[in-house]
Amino acid sequence: MNDLLIREINGFDWKLVSRIEKLEKRNLGSKASINRWVIPVIIRYGKLIVAQKGKNDPDIIGVCELIRDWEYKNKVFVFSFYIDRDYRKKGVGRKLLGKVVDILKDEGFAEVELTVDPDNESAVGLYRRFGFKKVALRENEYGRGV
C-alpha cells in the first residue's frame, strides 16, 4: 500500500468516532471494548494513531490506541492495535507499528508494553520483528480463560 497515510488524531468529530467504533466491532467482534465513550478519552488523554488508505481517502484501515503508564512516566501501554481484516498481510501493520514506535521514541518513551493473545501468531510475529519480548503470561487478565 504505497499511498498509506499514518497520522495521529488530535481532535475528533462524531463521524470519526463512529467510523472507529464500527471498525473496532468489525474486526474484534464481541471482544471490542472501544466504543463512543472510550474513543474520545483515548484521543484527549492518550494517543490514537490511525492508518488510512491514502491522503484523500478517509477510510481508516488500522488503529493503534495508546495510554501512558502513571507509575512509570517513560512507559506507554498499547491499549489496542489492529488492522482491518481486508487489509491484513499487506504490510499495513508493519508500517503502522513502525510509525507508532518512531513517534514514541521521538516523544521520549523508553518502554512499550502490550498484551497479545499468544495464539495470534501474526500479531506475535509482528511484535517480535520490532523487538518486543515476552515478559509474562497473564492468565485470566481479561476474564476467565482469556
Residue where the block lists cell 474520545: 40
DSSP state of 113: E
Please state, rounded to an integer, the average pLDDT across all residues of the chain.
90
User: Which of 106, 61, 102, 108 has the alpha carbon at shortest distance from 85?
Assistant: 61
pLDDT at residue 13 in the model: 85
Q: 145: phi > 0 → left, psi -120 to 50 → alpha, else beta; which?
A: left
Q: What pLDDT digit, counting tens, does each position of 54-87 carry?
A: 888 878 999 999 999 999 999 999 999 999 999 9
Distance CA 80, CA 17 (A): 15
**Cα 19 → chain centroid:** 15
The pLDDT value given to residue 62: 95
